[in-house]
Amino acid sequence: GRLVVLVSGSGTNLQALLDASADPSYGAQVVAVGADREGIEGLARASRSGVPTFVHKLGDYPSRQEWDAAIAEEIASYKPDLVVSAGFMKILGAPTLDAVPVLNTHPALLPSFPGAHGVRDALAHGVKVTGCTVMLADAGVDTGPIVAQEAVPVLPDDDEAELHERIKTVERRLLVDIVGRLAREGWTVSGRIVRIGNPSG
C-alpha cells in the first residue's frame, strides 16, 4: 500500500515507518511526506530516505479552506491508499478526509486527554497509567474510531519529556504494526468499530 505520512516535528513515528517499509514483506511504502512547516527533522528524515516531501503553511493561504484544498490536492497527487498523520499538528479538513482514509496517533488513551497536550494533561491529572491510541481521523480533534491502544505506566518522578518518550516507544511499535496489518489485510469500519481484515472494496 501507498502511504503519505504527515509530520510537524521530529518525525520518529515517520522514521519507524520508513525503517519498517524497507522490508518488502511489510506491505506498505512511504511515497511522500508532508508537513505544515519548514525546517523540521521529519522532513530531513524523508529526504535522507529519498522520499519526496511537500510543505503547506497555513499562513501562505488566504483562508483555511484554501489550505485544506491545497494539501488535499497535493496528497491526492501521490495516489495514497492511506494517509498517516504522525505528530501532524493540524486538523485535516473534508477535502482530505473525504478522499482517503487517515490514520492518526495520539499519545494518550482516548477519549481521555485529547488535543495538543495529551501527555502534559495526563501527567497533571495524576493518572498512574496512560498510553497511546491509533485511530481513524474524522473531522473532530482526536474523535475518530479507535483502531488500537496500548497502556503505558506513569512513574512517580516522570516529567513530560520522560513520559512522552516512554509513550512514543510504544506508539511507534503500535503504529508500525497497525499500518502493516491494514496494508496487508485491509479493514472495515462499522460505526465506531474498526475491524482489520475483510478488505473493504
Strands (E), the chain: 2-7, 29-35, 53-55, 82-85, 102-106, 129-136, 146-153, 187-190, 193-196
Q: How many residues bind ligand GRF (CB under 6 A)?
A: 15
**Cis before residue 114, ω within 30 degrees of 0?**
no
Q: Which 75-104 residues touch ligand GRF, going by CB under 6 A?
A: 86-87
Indicate whether 45 belongs to the interface with ligand GRF (CB under 6 A).
Answer: no
Rounded to whole angstroms, how far apart are CA atoms 9 and 6? 10
Indicate whether 12 belongs to the interface with ligand GRF (CB under 6 A).
Answer: yes
* Strand 29-35, strand 193-196: pairing: unpaired
Contacts with ligand GRF, 146-185, as mask; x by CB under 6 A: ----------------------x--x--------------
Q: Which of 16/194 has CB closer to ligand GRF?
A: 16
Rounded to whole angstroms, how far apart are CA atoms 50 and 36? 19
Indicate whether 11 belongs to the interface with ligand GRF (CB under 6 A).
Answer: yes
Indicate whether 21 belongs to the interface with ligand GRF (CB under 6 A).
Answer: no
Q: Which of 9/186 has CB closer to ligand GRF?
A: 9
Q: Please identify which residue in 1, 9, 52, 93 interacts with ligand GRF, judged by CB under 6 A.
A: 9
Contact 41, 121 (CB under 8 A): no
Indicate whether 72 belongs to the interface with ligand GRF (CB under 6 A).
Answer: no
Q: How many helices (H) and strands (E) does the chain have?
A: 6, 9
Q: Which of 176/194 has CB closer to ligand GRF?
A: 176
Helix/strand/coil for 180: helix
Let me know how long the chain is. 201
Indicate whether 13 belongs to the interface with ligand GRF (CB under 6 A).
Answer: yes
- Kindly indicate which of the ranges 2-10, 17-25, 61-69, 189-197 contains the residues binding ligand GRF, using the contact rule CB under 6 A: 2-10
Indicate whether 144 belongs to the interface with ligand GRF (CB under 6 A).
Answer: no
Rounded to whole angstroms, how far apart are CA atoms 21 and 56? 25
Residues at the contact surface with ligand GRF, assessed by CB under 6 A: 7, 9-14, 42, 86-87, 105-107, 168, 171
